[in-house]
């Protein structure tokens, strides 16, 4: 990439400094601004980055012709107005998860970016880890066989958010990974959600999602702010192999098991004859693929720059963000109805 994209990072809180650091390390990106309502905090974040200007004026950022793109790392409620203003100003946009606070607003952003020929990308950072890249390859090449089940756990102590429940805070990570690794044509068609608020926070701090997939498989996501231990695992079971991703184990993030259950009887066996069904248990080797450790956020920044320079949709574009939000909104409806399954339109 021999061109340079002028970038402004919006938000100097928890995630903004990470965006600044990785954008500065991305060859095709020239960071011009860090914008935050607390300009002193922005200056403190910048520290030695003397080539980047700090400001509390978003208008000044959008009026700068040297800025071709913005990366938004602000509270979810502000994503829509900030992103839409950037698109209206002709800027490409990278947005921290979730894309917006509502599905309708997300659709408006996606349409606006499409109408203006601009890149709208979701910061689904986990999709750019080496482990998830390899996991996606295993699924898409068919090495796992047909996906039969997915179990994901993301639990730790805090951070309890004041403005969103645990599903909106943590589940977007798992749902974005799920969306990224599923094979073409396979997606969630219904979701049931259950939540609990044992500390009286006013919204669920513990949550469970159950997703029915279009191929007949089922996925389950458990998220929790209250666990004294930190667990980040995902198990993807296939008809040929099963892979376990343990993000807390840097020495063996992925383990691929040639173990499972094979059905030997015909699938059209009469229900009364189920006792005649023959099952074979497969017990083969476990392989731990060698992975090159890299900072996912830097790979994500490179993808953002590449999609702009190559005039193509990014790997985790606005439509991917919409699919995640569709599941989350269906989950909210399920919570309101006592945990019943809520169907969704297919946005794939």
Q: Sketch out the chain's domains with CATH numbers.
A: 5-126+296-317 (3.40.50.720), 127-292+327-343 (3.30.360.10)
Secondary structure (DSSP) of 65-85: TT--EEEE-S-GGGHHHHHHH
Query: Quick check: 292 pLDDT over 70?
Result: yes
Distance CA 20, CA 43 (A): 12
What token pair was written down for 235?
Answer: 């198990």
Length of the chain: 348
Distance CA 30, CA 42 (A): 17
Q: Where are the beta strands (DSSP E) in 1-101?
A: 5-10, 29-35, 53-55, 69-72, 92-96
Measured between its terminal Cα atoms, the distance across the chain in Å is 30
Integer CA distances (angstroms), 14 to 72, 75, 120, 197, 325, in order: 12, 10, 22, 25, 22
Query: Quick check: 203 pLDDT over 70?
Result: yes
Strand, helix or coil at 141? coil
Residues 46-92: tens digit of each pLDDT: 988 788 999 999 999 999 999 999 999 998 889 999 999 999 999 99
Per-residue model confidence (pLDDT) at position 162: 84
Per-residue model confidence (pLDDT) at position 31: 96
Residues 102-136: tens digit of each pLDDT: 899 999 999 999 999 999 999 999 999 999 999 99
Ramachandran class of 174: left when φ > 0, alpha when ψ lies in -120 to 50, beta otherwise? alpha
Beta bridge partners of 47: none
* Burial of 73 from C-beta contacts in 10 A (0-12 / 13-18 / 19+): buried
Distance CA 233, CA 199 (A): 25
**Which letter does DSSP use for residue 317 in this model?**
B
Q: What is the mean pLDDT of residues 177-197?
A: 95
- Of residues 294, 10, 325, 279, the one with CA closest to residue 172: 325
- Identify the sign of the CA torsion 79, 81, 87, 91: negative
Per-residue model confidence (pLDDT) at position 269: 56
């Amino acid at each position: 990439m021999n061109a340079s994209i002028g970038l402004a990072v919006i938000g100097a809180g928890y995630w903004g400094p990470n965006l600044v650091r990785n954008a500065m390390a991305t060859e095709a990106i020239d960071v011009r601004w860090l914008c935050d309502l607390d300009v002193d905090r922005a200056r403190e974040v910048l520290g030695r980055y003397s080539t980047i200007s700090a400001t509390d004026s978003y208008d000044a950022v959008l009026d700068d012709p040297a800025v071709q793109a913005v990366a938004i790392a602000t509270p979810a409620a502000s994503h829509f107005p900030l992103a839409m203003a950037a698109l209206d100003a002709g800027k490409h946009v990278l947005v921290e998860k979730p894309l917006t606070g509502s599905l309708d607003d997300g659709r408006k952003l996606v349409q606006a970016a499409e109408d203006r020929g601009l890149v709208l990308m979701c910061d689904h950072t986990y999709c750019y880890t080496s482990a998830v890249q390899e996991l996606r390859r295993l699924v898409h090449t068919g090495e796992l066989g047909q996906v039969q089940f997915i179990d994901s756990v993301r639990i730790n102590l805090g951070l309890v958010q004041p403005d969103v429940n645990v599903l909106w805070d943590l589940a977007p990570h798992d749902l974005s990974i799920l969306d990224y690794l599923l094979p073409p044509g396979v997606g969630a068609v219904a979701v049931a959600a259950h939540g609990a608020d044992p500390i009286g926070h006013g919204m669920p701090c513990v949550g469970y999602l159950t997703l029915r997939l279009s191929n007949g498989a089922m996925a389950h996501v458990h998220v929790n702010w209250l666990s004294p231990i930190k667990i980040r695992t995902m198990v993807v079971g296939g008809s040929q192999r099963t892979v376990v991703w343990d993000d807390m184990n840097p020495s063996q993030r992925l383990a691929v098991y040639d173990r499972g259950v094979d059905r030997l009887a015909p699938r059209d066996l009469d229900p009364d004859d189920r006792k005649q069904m023959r099952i074979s248990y497969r017990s083969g080797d476990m392989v731990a693929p060698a992975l090159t450790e890299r900072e996912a956020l830097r790979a994500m920044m490179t993808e953002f720059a590449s999609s702009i320079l190559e005039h193509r949709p990014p790997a985790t574009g606005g439509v991917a963000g919409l699919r995640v939000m569709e599941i989350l909104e269906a989950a909210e409806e399920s919570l309101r109805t006592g945990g019943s399954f809520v169907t969704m339109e297919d946005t794939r």
